[in-house]
Amino acid sequence: MYKLPGVIVIAFLNFISAGWNLLVGMEEMTKGVILASWIGPSGHTHPSPQMIAGLRAAIIIFYLVIAAIEIILGVGLFKLMEWARNGTVIMTVLFAMRGVFALLSSFPLHLNLSVILLRVGLLGTEIVIIGYLIKPRVRAGFKVTRTRTASA
């Protein structure tokens, strides 16, 4: 079965993104340990340590779930599964929307050219990925071949 080179590149990008999300999740774990050591025992009546720990746990779980989804989508893209193409399009649209929001919300606050160029570059890459995956020729490469079982 012929695999489209662009699909292989997108699958590798999914794996790279999953690795990045795992690293960010591990960084959040490290920050949580450091914060817990600074705050000290949670015998205080102030709810801040518990709230910080809960927020850190939610952030860690979020990044680990995103990494798992990206790994599953990457494997599915390698196998040319239609659900992986659809999932990648949906995830990329969500990340593109987040990128537009981040670009517009940070623009008036600080004009750091490198951050703006990075965000514009990522947004452009996401748009190219979406455009590539919805092309009819690429969609045809993901046609699901279903095997029918004989009824008795």
What are the residue ranges spanned by the domains of the chain? 5-141
pLDDT in tens, the chain (152 residues): 567 889 999 999 999 999 999 999 888 888 776 766 666 555 555 556 667 777 888 888 999 999 999 999 999 999 989 999 999 999 999 999 998 988 888 776 667 788 888 889 999 999 999 999 999 989 888 875 444 334 44
Long-range contacts of 95-98 (CB under 8 A, 24+ apart): 95/126, 96/123, 96/126, 96/127, 96/130
User: Two tokens at 88?
Assistant: 């990648």
Residues 6+ apart with CB under 8 A from 35: 52, 56
Q: How far apart are CA 56 and CA 111, in angstroms?
A: 29
Q: How far apart are CA 95 and CA 150, in angstroms?
A: 43
pTM of the model: 0.78
**Apex CA 94: angle with CA 75 and CA 85, to 5°?**
30
